[in-house]
A and B are shown apart, each in its own frame.
Chain A
Amino acid sequence: MASIVAVIASTHHPFYYRASTSTGEDRPPFADEWVRKITAFRETLTRANPDVLVMVGSDHFHQLWLDNMPQFLVGKAPFYDANWYNEEREFGLPKMLLKGQEDLSAHILRAGLDSGFDLAFSNELRIDHSVTCPIITLRPEADLPIVPIYTNIFAPPLPQPSRFVQLGEAIRRIVEEWPSHLRVAIIGTGHLSLELGGPRQFGPHGPDPEFDRRAVEWIASGDLDSCLREVSLDSLHAPGNATHGFMDFMLMMGVAGAGAKADHVDTLDLFHTMEAYFTWYPNGVPA
Chain B
Amino acid sequence: MSKYLLNKFLYTVDRDPELVERYRAEPHELVTWWEADRANAVLNCITDEASTWLRFTDEERAALIDHDHCKLFELGAHPFLTLTLFIAMFERDNAEPLEYQKAYGARMAHFAMPYPDIAT
Q: Hey, which bits of chain A sit against chain B, CB under 8 A?
A: 28, 60-62, 65-68, 84-86, 89-90, 154-157, 195-203, 237-238, 241-242, 271
| A residues near B87, Cβ cutoff 8 Å | 90
| Contacts A156-B118, A198-B108, A201-B105; A61 near B4 (Cβ below 8 A) | no
Q: How far is the CB of A208 from chain B (nearest CB, A)?
A: 11
Give the dominant DSSP class at A's interface: loop
Give the dominant DSSP class at B's interface: helix
Interface size class of B (residues with CB under 8 A): 35 or more
| B108–A237 touching, CB < 8 Å | no
| B residues near A62, Cβ cutoff 8 Å | 15
Q: Hey, which bits of chain B sit against chain A, CB under 8 A?
A: 4, 7-8, 11, 14-15, 17, 42-44, 69, 73, 78-84, 87-88, 91, 97-98, 101-102, 104-106, 108-111, 113-115, 118-120
| B111–A61 touching, CB < 8 Å | no
| B108–A60 touching, CB < 8 Å | no
Task: For A202, give its contact among B17, B80, B98, B120 (CB under 8 Å).
Answer: B98
| B residues near A242, Cβ cutoff 8 Å | 79-80
| A residues near B81, Cβ cutoff 8 Å | 61, 197
Closest residue of chain B to A60 (Cβ to Cβ) is B80
Q: How far is the CA of A124 from the CA of B8 in the complex (A)?
A: 22
Q: How far is the CA of A50 from the CA of B82 in the complex (A)?
A: 39
| Contacts A66-B7, A156-B118, A201-B105; A61 near B73 (Cβ below 8 A) | no
Q: How far is the CA of A67 from the CA of B4 in the complex (A)?
A: 9
| Contacts A84-B15, A197-B80, A197-B82; A237 near B115 (Cβ below 8 A) | yes
Q: How far is the CA of A3 from the CA of B78 in the complex (A)?
A: 40
| B111–A156 touching, CB < 8 Å | no
Closest residue of chain A to B91 (Cβ to Cβ) is A90
| A residues near B44, Cβ cutoff 8 Å | 67-68
Q: How far is the CA of A62 from the CA of B81 in the complex (A)?
A: 10
Q: How far is the CB of B111 from chain A (nearest CB, A)?
A: 5
| A66–B4 touching, CB < 8 Å | yes
| B78–A61 touching, CB < 8 Å | yes
| Contacts A157-B119, A238-B113; A196 near B79 (Cβ below 8 A) | yes
Q: How far is the CB of A116 from chain B (nearest CB, A)?
A: 25
